[in-house]
Structures are given as C-alpha cells and as structure tokens.
Amino acid sequence: MSPHDSSRAGSDSVAVAVRNVTKIFPNGDTPTYALRDVSFEARCGELTMIVGPSGCGKTTLLSVICGTLAIDSGSIEVFGKTLGSMSVSEVTGFRSKNVGFIFQQFNLIPTLTVVENVSIPLILQGWNYRKAEEKAAAILQDVGLGERIRSFPKQLSGGQQQRVAISRALVHDPKLIICDEPTASLDAKTGHHALELLKKSACAPDRCVIVVTHDSRIFSFADWIAEMEDGRVVKSCPASEYQHA
C-alpha cells in the first residue's frame, strides 16, 4: 500500500505523515517490534481510524504521532513539522498548542470540577483562570453539560465524563485530536453518542481527528480506516471501501 494513495477522495492537506517508522521495545532478550516500517497518513477534515487486534501497535503509533514516544527510525511530520528535529521541550510545547487528547479512561482529575478539568489545556497555554473557565463553561454548555460544570467527575455518568473529556480535548482549538479507544469504557449506545458528538464538534476542515479503536460498531463514523496487524499497516482505505474481516 502507498501512503500517497491517489484514490483518497474528498480530503484536503496531509496533517500527519508517518514515514517508514520502526519502534522497538527492548524487552530484555526478546525485543518487541511494536512498529515495523510503518507508513501512514491522516488528513485534515477527516476522521481517521486506526483499527486492528490487540497488541498490533495501535497505541504505539498514536504515541509516536503525538511525540510522547521516541522512534527508532523513520520520520514523523505533523502539520509540516518534523518531530525528530525538535527538542523534547519543543515537542511538549507543540503538543500543548496543537494536540487534544481523549483517553479510554477519560483521565479526568477527580479532585477538580468539570470546568476546572476542561480549562487545564488553556491554563497550560498561559490563559488566566477566569477567562479559561469562561471558555470551558461555554464549551461544556455546547455538549449539554452546562448545568454540571461545578460537579466532580465521579458525580457524572461514563457518557457524561466522556463528553467532558471531549470538551477538554477541544477547548484550546487544537488542530490534531487523538483518541485512544474512546468507547471502550462505554456501553454501545453511549459510545455511539460520544462518537456522534466527536464527529459533530471535532471534525472541521482544518482539523485532523485520529481514533484508535477495535470497536467495529463505530467504524461507520470514520472517513478513512487504516488497519494494523503485528506492527504493520496492512490496509488503508476510505471507510466506505473497508471490509471488516
């Protein structure tokens, strides 16, 4: 398969370009090849899904894309910037500005209220608290949690927590949204709603959304699907053409 697949329709510019990346975990005598010469692209204006069986390297691919994990060979370009050429601190700064995260366990800080949790990405960028909370409250209003902004995460249902997590990922208008198994902790219906919300609020012409999942029920939300197996991308095609084995 080619990373520059000409059959790719309806997409704008390339947001993430992974070229010939290898990542090896030196697990003592038997190193694990988590990524083997992987090439992969995700485009702006699209929701790209990375799918595949457990242990195939999906999370590893996501980690190297957002620069939280160093690679052994190959190159990664995110919005035209080569991660390998930046210092750790530059990558961290780049991430705080351009990447929004949604985790499987939501990872909301339990001792902070919903609105405080959502304002963190803004505060990290130097916003003052009042402004950050105002913006956070506005976005929580949009996802239907306007009444619950002073609640603590524990007081919310799983689906509501996921909506908070989506708000936190979007509050600082990042250009890249990274989601690892966003529906794994949710039941089918709530997972469906979460993806609907994600699709509605996150997908924009200048934004790239990458979702890792092995939940075939949400494949229909994807614009593009890349399938992995044993550290390799084995299939990469528009969602409409994707046949789930």
Partner 1 sequence: MLRIALLMLFRDRAKYMMLIVGLTFCSLLMTQQASVFCGLMLWTSATVRNIGAKVWVFDAKVEQVNEVIPLREIEVTRVRGVPGVEWAVPLYVGIEQARLSDGSFQNVQLVGLDTATFVGRPMEITKGRIEDLRLPDAVIIDQVGIAKFKSKGIAIDIGTTFEINDKAARVVALCHANRSFLGQPYVYTTYDRALQFSKPQRKMMSCVLVEPKPGVSATELADSISKLPGLKAFERDDLFWNTIWWYIKNTGIPISFGTVVLMGVIVGIAIAGQTFYLFILDNLLYLADLKAMGARMPILAAMVFLQSFSVGFVGFGLGVGLTSIFGYKVLKIEQPPFFMPWQVPAFVAVIIILICCFSAAIGLRQIAKLEPAVVFK
Ligand X SMILES: Nc1ncnc2c1ncn2[C@@H]1O[C@H](COP(=O)(O)OP(=O)(O)OP(=O)(O)O)[C@@H](O)[C@H]1O
User: What are phi and psi for residue 120, nearest 5 degrees?
Assistant: -55, -45
Q: What is the largest CA-CA distance in the chain?
A: 54
Q: Does 109 bind partner 1 (CB under 8 A)?
A: yes
Give the 3-state secondary structure of residue 3: coil
Q: Does 185 bind Mg ion (CB under 5 A)?
A: no
Please identify, among the stretches 6-14, 40-48, 59-67, 227-235, the one whose residues bind partner 1 according to the rule CB under 8 A: 59-67
Please identify, among the stretches 11-19, 35-43, 55-63, 72-80, the one whose residues bind partner 1 according to the rule CB under 8 A: 55-63
Q: Give the helix/strand (H/E) hosting 64.
A: helix 58-65
Please identify, among the stretches 44-52, 116-124, 134-142, 213-221, the one whose residues bind partner 1 according to the rule CB under 8 A: 116-124
Q: What is the distance between the alpha carbons of residues 53 and 56, in angstroms, rounded to a whole number?
A: 6
Q: Give the helix/strand (H/E) hosting 51.
A: strand 47-51
Q: Is residue 182 within 8 Å of 49, Cβ to Cβ?
A: no
Size of the site for partner 1 (CB under 8 A): 29
Tell me whether residue 76 or residue 139 sits nearer to ligand X (CB atom): 76
The set of residues, in sequence order, having a beta carbon less than 8 Å from that of 167 and lying 6+ positions away, is 118, 136, 139, 140, 142, 143, 145
Q: Does 59 bind Mg ion (CB under 5 A)?
A: yes
Given candidates 21, 50, 66, 198, which one binds partner 1 under the rule CB under 8 A?
66
Strand ranges across the sheet with 14-25: 32-43, 14-25, 73-78, 81-82
**At closest approach, how far in Å is the CB of 10 from partner 1?**
29
Minimal CA–CA distance to 166: which of 155, 177, 152, 154? 177
Residues near ligand X, by CB under 6 A: 25, 27, 32, 34, 54-60, 214
Tell me whether residue 140 or residue 179 sits nearer to partner 1 (CB atom): 179
Please identify, among the stretches 55-63, 80-88, 168-176, 195-203, the one whose residues bind Mg ion according to the rule CB under 5 A: 55-63
Q: Does 215 bind partner 1 (CB under 8 A)?
A: no
DSSP lists the bridge partners of residue 227 as: 51, 235
Tell me whether residue 78 or residue 242 sits nearer to partner 1 (CB atom): 78
**At closest approach, how far in Å is the CB of 103 from ligand X?**
12
